[in-house]
Amino acid sequence: MAEQRQEHPAPEFPTYEELAADLIDGLARTSLVAEDVVHELEPGTGERTFHVSVRLGQSETEERYGARLHFHWDALLTYVGVYGPGSECDLYHEEDETCSHRGRPRAFIELVAEYGLGDGGYELSELGEVDAWIQSVEGLLNRSVPDQQGRILRLELAIREGAVWVDRFFAEQSWELDLNQPADLEPICQAVAATLRATPALADRLPL
């Protein structure tokens, strides 16, 4: 088995550590402050998850506006990163069997950013308020950060003593990164910064 692995070509995509470091460097180049960096490891499977809190510098806006970025790193990506593209075949079948993925690993990850839009703990007087909030947020973000496909708004509600409360209101944006190509993180970091610069304008429209 060891001799088979030596025949595989060198890895063509970054390691988990390299991608995490590149992301933090990209945030710094965009004048974003990275805090609370967390590396989670699942011992049983070897899967890893990266988390980082991000905010603009104090001179640009209030510290209360921030984002949380994260990505999940599958255990198979670590294996292929060590032994090279095509090595995943060794896990599933014999060498003389044909397969469609040898030498063509699908090395993709999803990078997700969550932006806090409200502090929560707000009691709704009527559900119609939610529609007005969504229209305000969508209009502002579309003007400030256009062409961001995949951006969604999430609202977490809770029922307390017969009343409806907003526990959390946030926007979510995701990007699919093809690790077989050099990751271009600069546009992503710029989009995060632009979104954070836009969120304070919501203060007079949402119950923050």
DSSP-derived letter for residue 11 is P
Mean pLDDT, rounded, for 69-95: 73
The first and second tokens of residue 25, run together, are: 């460097």
> Is the predicted pLDDT of residue 7 greater than 60, yes or no?
no
* Signed CA dihedral, 62, 135, 148, 18: sign only: positive
pLDDT score of 27: 95
Mean pLDDT for the chain? 79
* Signed CA dihedral, 174, 178, 179, 185: sign only: negative
Residue scoring higher pLDDT (83 or 116):
116
Residues 6+ apart with CB under 8 A from 39: 20, 48, 49, 50
> Is the predicted pLDDT of residue 208 greater than 70, yes or no?
no
Q: How far apart are the first and last CA of the chain?
A: 59
Segment among 23-27, 33-37, 80-84 with least mean pLDDT: 80-84
pLDDT score of 2: 45
Mean pLDDT, rounded, for 144-168: 82
The first and second tokens of residue 117, run together, are: 């839009």
> Is the predicted pLDDT of residue 93 greater than 60, yes or no?
no
CB 179 within 8 A of CB 109: yes
Segment among 2-11, 27-36, 96-105, 147-156 with least mean pLDDT: 2-11
Q: DSSP H helical segments within 37-122, as ranges? A: 75-83, 89-92
Q: pLDDT band at 135, cuts 50/70/90?
A: confident
Mean pLDDT, rounded, for 136-150: 80
Residue scoring higher pLDDT (151 or 127):
151
Helix, strand, coil shares of the chain as percentages rounded to 5?
A: 30, 30, 35
Cα separations (Å) of 49 from 44, 52, 62, 187, 199?
Answer: 14, 10, 28, 22, 27
> Is the predicted pLDDT of residue 13 greater than 80, yes or no?
no
> Is the predicted pLDDT of residue 4 greater than 60, yes or no?
no
pLDDT digits (tens, 9 = 90+) for 35-44: 999 999 988 8
Amino acid at 90: D
Residues 6+ apart with CB under 8 A from 146: none
Measured from the Cβ of residue 174, the count of other Cβ atoms closer than 10 Å reads: 15
